[in-house]
Amino acid sequence: MEIPQVDLSALLGPTESIIIGAPVVVIWLLSGIVSAMVATNKGRSGCGWFLLGFLLGPMGLILSLAVSRNQAVLEQRMVQRGEMQYCPYCAEPIRAEAIKCRYCGEGFGGDQSSSQSLYMR
């Protein structure tokens, strides 16, 4: 017994093909965009994850949500924006406003007279 092959293009006209295909393309494109945004916020390559999200669709979006953060890249971005700095004594990242390192306890930064006056009170 042979299964008859059906030519969908003969059954569906050009308008029906566009109506069926357009939402699929939009969902895959949105999956790529959202995957790229999520990956960029986690310190990953936005372009690579856009391509992956577009090719895999919703599965690419799920993968971008499951991937771990690239902490080194995120710290470097925060240092470049001036939100963080590295402690000159222990090289750990700390907030830019800090006058004392939370890891090693060394005091530094800012005007020394103002930091001394805080400790003298």
Q: In terms of pTM, does the model score above 0.85? A: no
CB neighbours of residue 83 within 10 Å? 13
Average pLDDT on 2-22 reads 69
Query: Beta partners for 83?
Result: none
Average pLDDT over residues 76-95: 88
In this prediction, residue 88 carries a pLDDT of: 87
Calpha distance 2→58 (Å, rounded): 36
Average pLDDT, the chain: 81
Count Cβ atoms within 10 A of the Cβ of residue 50 and give its class: 0-12 exposed, 13-18 middle, 19 or more buried: buried
Helix, strand or coil, per DSSP, at residue 111: coil
Q: Helix or strand or coil: residue 57?
A: coil
The ranges assigned to domains in the chain are: 1-67, 70-121
Q: For residues 58 and 45, what is the distance between their CA atoms, to the nearest angstrom?
A: 18
**Cα 104 versus chain centre, distance:** 30
